Structure formats: structure tokens, C-alpha cells
Copies of this chain bind each other. A is one copy, B any other.
Amino acid sequence: MNRAEIKDKCKQCSIYANGYLFCAQLDADELCALSDHSRTLTMKRGDSLEGEALGTWPIVAIDMGVLSMQHLLQDGRKTIAALFMRGDIIDLRNISNRNRGALIALGKVKLCRLSPRVFEQIMGKNPKAQKVIWENLRDQAFRAMDHSGDIAKKQALEKLASFIFECRNRQEKIPECDTIDIPVRRIDLAEYLGMQPETVSRCFKELEQREILVAPRLNAVRITNIPMLRRIANGDRDAVIKDAGKHGFKVLKIA
């Protein structure tokens, strides 16, 4: 495969196009070798990455979309333990045997399955690339820890507020645009936050009624009272109290 072809394959991919991500750190030879031994894959909602596919292709880099790690309990309860997005590199070498969750797409996902051999070679030789994936893995770890902290003791409204900030932090900042993309459905959001879809719905409603945010569509919100949302996310009990306000009684929505 010549370099022009590789460019065709990779130049569309955000992992190469975005200067901060993994493939952008590689020189022409490295990119060539990696590209030649890797396979892209497009998934649609509900598709799952597992078993033998992960045996030969245990390293996955996300180009676009949201991939979830799901745990299924025996009686059917499901939880989403982590969300992976653009730039995340998931290394599942030697852990298929454990009780890990399944990797399931929550919408259209484009990813690249990297050759473990070439990946390891690059890890050993290219310090810039090494730094990028090390920091990505570290982010994944700390993100998962933060998430544990969020769902352990926070109330439903607080979890949702935290999640909205998590979305804001993870998405690329577009100046002059304070609309935050919610890249998952309500039902997935519920599974990620350890609550029921009904509760998620009620919490969104409450935040809208209290004029803390506006949700023009299901997959986007605009925060209108950032300090208040921050207080809720940080677990300030006073901020969580239902519409009591200065009147001391619940103010019903006035159409």
C-alpha cells in the first residue's frame, strides 16, 4: 500500500486529523505500518464488539460516535459502566477472560481496530505517541473514578447535573455556542447514571421548570443558570431542594 492510499484511508479519520490524538503523532512510516495492519469498522446502534473479534483485534480506537461498556446482571438489569468517544483507545489485551462488560454502540460509531503488534512497536519507539495514549488511558481511569463518585452518593438531580458538565467537558468547545450536545438517549443515560428513564425524564423537567436549562431537542441542552447547575452538581443540598424557593411551597409550572 502506498502512502497516498493510506492518506486516503486515514485523512478522514479524526484520530489522525485532530492534532492532539494518537495517529497525528506518528511519522509517515509509522502511520503507514499501522494503517496497513489495521481495519476500520462502522457500527450501528446495538451492535456489539466481542468474543473472537476482540481476540484478534483487542485494541480499538474511536473515530466517531459513542461506544459503551455494558454490564448485564443475571436478572436482566443493565448498566453502562463507561462511555468511550472520539480519540479514546481501548486496550482489551488479555482481559477477555475476566468478567468484563460488552462493548456496545449507542448510535453510529466509526472505529479503527489497531494491530496489537504495530501498536506495541509504536508504543516502544515514539515518545509523543506514547504520551498521548498514556494520557488517554489515564483520563479513562480518572473519568471512571469520577463517575463512581458521582453515582455512589449523589441524588438523581445531582447526577444529571454532573453528567451535563461531563458532556460539556468532553465535547470540543465551540466558542459563541453554549449548546451542549447530549450524545446518548434517555434510556442510555439512565443506565449510565444508575437510575430509571422515568427519573431522568422527571429530572430534566425539573431543571427546565426551575429555568436552569432549556432542552430544545432530546439530544441537546442550553444551560441558562450555570452557577445553579454547578451548585447542584457539586452536591449543595440547598440547591437541590424542590422548587421551594422563597415562598416555601412548590411553584407549579405556569403555562
B-binding residues in A (CB < 8 A):
69, 71, 73-75, 77-82, 91, 95, 99-101, 123-124, 127, 130, 134, 137-138, 140-142, 144-149, 151-154, 191-194, 231, 234-238
Q: Which 10 A-B pairs have the closest CB atoms?
A: A73-B235, A152-B194, A144-B144, A71-B149, A141-B141, A81-B149, A81-B145, A74-B236, A79-B152, A75-B237
Residues on B with C-beta less than 8 A from A237 are 74-75
> Is the pair A141, B137 in contact by a Cβ cutoff of 8 Å?
yes
Q: How far is the CA of A3 from the CA of B99 in the complex (A)?
A: 43
**16 new A-B contacts at CB < 8 Å, known A73-B154, A75-B237:** A73-B153, A74-B236, A75-B236, A77-B154, A79-B148, A79-B153, A81-B146, A81-B148, A81-B149, A82-B148, A137-B141, A147-B148, A151-B151, A151-B194, A152-B191, A152-B192
> A97 to chain B: closest CB distance in Å?
12
> Is the pair A145, B194 in contact by a Cβ cutoff of 8 Å?
no
Can you list 12 A-B pairs, Cβ within 8 angstroms, ordered by A? A73-B153, A73-B236, A75-B237, A79-B152, A101-B146, A124-B127, A124-B130, A137-B138, A144-B144, A148-B148, A151-B151, A151-B152
Residue of B nearest to A232 (CB): B74
> A232 to chain B: closest CB distance in Å?
10
> A137 to chain B: closest CB distance in Å?
5
> A187 to chain B: closest CB distance in Å?
13
Residues on B with C-beta less than 8 A from A100 are 142, 146
> Is the pair B148, A151 in contact by a Cβ cutoff of 8 Å?
yes
Q: How far is the CA of A118 from the CA of B193 in the complex (A)?
A: 40
Residues on B with C-beta less than 8 A from A75 are 235-238
> Is the pair B142, A145 in contact by a Cβ cutoff of 8 Å?
no
Partner of A141, one of B74, B140, B152: B140
Q: How far is the CA of A231 from the CA of B134 in the complex (A)?
A: 36
Partner of A153, one of B194, B235, B236: B194
